[in-house]
Copies of this chain bind each other. A is one copy, B any other.
């Protein structure tokens, strides 16, 4: 069993890997397209038909496509820049192996099973996380999604080759359950497999700090309107406010114009990632950070404009489904997560559950992200058990 996982995992491990072991698998770029080819090939090997929902999401079918009672599983191929290899692909590889396991057991599902590969779950290319599942479930307008730009100015519509199709008609009538398997992204899980209870509310806000571009060598300190100072102060404020709130806040991405050593910037753009156990706490946290940014801008003679890019309320997964799966898996622990997932988006429309595979260091979004072959194999076994139960 462990060998089966290791063998399939080794097929995709080199795709999009950088020399430090991190991954560049942006949605619809070469490495991710290679993974999609691999997906079609895996489906083919298993006599599973592949369909495309017109939104960039792929589905491999065991049973009738979108037939009544469909159970969806799978995850996403795309990575954060230089991220780990497990976040996403583990759910897809495990889904194919769970299908193998059920067939070895001579099981024939009474409901269709669809293995999904969702597009741009990280938002690493087009800026909006869970783009594919948002389109499928109709929570984003296809025209708005088509216009989202990557860092090179390529739109999602251009990358996709067409305007996205948008919501699948009667999604909630067709699908009876969604189960996404994912590597855990914290240090909470101390057995191989757990079940998700909830996703913290979370969001990303873009902060544009503008000032006056000028010569760094000749401009007197008193004459400056340097937006880098306001940015820096806000980075520290976000950290402090998160500690005070018992929540998470991070400014990890920044772009600077002109970004030259000897030129005071005219624009510094930062992105705030904020998450908390409940929505009011997250909202108070963001308000506090913005208040401090605006205060500091007054001192620096700069301006701040805040634009929410995506804000997701708390997701409580289907409680009875989680309890049922936990019992099925020998009282597997039930735990919340701070990370967003396609399953979180879909849970508003369909009974949804997540399985987590143990991550011994808790590190994620980094080349150090890791799960053992043994734990991954336990994940496959758990997913097979769950699919057997639900179909």
Which residue of the partner chain, among B213, B217, B232, B337, contacts A275 with CB atoms under 8 Å?
B217
The complex places the Cα of A236 from the Cα of B228 at a distance, in Å, of 9
Protomer copies: 2
> What 6 pairs between A and B have smallest CB-CB spacing?
A213-B366, A232-B235, A216-B250, A215-B364, A232-B232, A185-B218
Does A124 reach chain B (CB closer than 8 Å)? yes
Residues of B within 8 A of A258 (CB): 22, 80-83, 365
Does A114 reach chain B (CB closer than 8 Å)? no
Residues of B within 8 A of A364 (CB): 214-215, 218-219
The complex places the Cα of A236 from the Cα of B80 at a distance, in Å, of 29
- Max count, chain B CB within 10 A of own CB: residue among A233, A252, A337, A364: A252
Within 8 A of B (CB), among A175-192: 185-187
Residues of B within 8 A of A215 (CB): 185, 338-339, 363-366
Distance in angstroms from A199 CB to nearest chain B CB is 9
Does A7 reach chain B (CB closer than 8 Å)? no
Residues of A within 8 A of B (CB): 22, 80-83, 122-124, 129, 185-187, 200, 202, 204, 212-221, 223, 226, 228-229, 231-233, 235-236, 239, 242-243, 248, 250-254, 256-266, 271, 273, 275, 337-340, 362-368
The complex places the Cα of A233 from the Cα of B224 at a distance, in Å, of 19
Contacts known (A217-B273, A252-B216); A365 close to B263, Cβ less than 8 A: yes
Distance in angstroms from A157 CB to nearest chain B CB is 22
Instruction: Report whether over half of chain A's contact residues are helix, strand or loop; otherwise say mixed.
Output: loop
Judging by beta carbons under 8 Å apart, are A81 and B217 in contact?
no
The complex places the Cα of A122 from the Cα of B260 at a distance, in Å, of 10
Residues of B within 8 A of A363 (CB): 212-215
Contacts known (A214-B366, A218-B362, A365-B213); A264 close to B248, Cβ less than 8 A: no
Which residue of the partner chain, among B123, B232, B242, B368, contacts A231 with CB atoms under 8 Å?
B232
Residues of B within 8 A of A187 (CB): 223
From A310, which residue of chain B is reached at the shortest CB distance? B261
The complex places the Cα of A187 from the Cα of B223 at a distance, in Å, of 10
- Max count, chain B CB within 10 A of own CB: residue among A221, A226, A232: A232
Distance in angstroms from A213 CB to nearest chain B CB is 4
Residues of B within 8 A of A340 (CB): 217
Judging by beta carbons under 8 Å apart, are B236 and A250 in contact?
no
Residues of B within 8 A of A83 (CB): 258, 260, 263
Residues of B within 8 A of A236 (CB): 229, 232-233, 236
Residues of B within 8 A of A221 (CB): 239, 242-243, 248
**Assuming A223-B362, A253-B261, A254-B254, what are 17 further A-B pairs, CB within 8 angstroms?**
A80-B260, A81-B260, A122-B260, A123-B261, A185-B215, A212-B366, A214-B363, A215-B364, A218-B337, A218-B364, A219-B248, A228-B254, A231-B235, A232-B236, A233-B236, A263-B366, A264-B365
Which residue of the partner chain, among B122, B229, B263, contacts A81 with CB atoms under 8 Å?
B263
From A24, which residue of chain B is reached at the shortest CB distance? B258
Which residue of the partner chain, among B212, B217, B275, contacts A338 with CB atoms under 8 Å?
B217
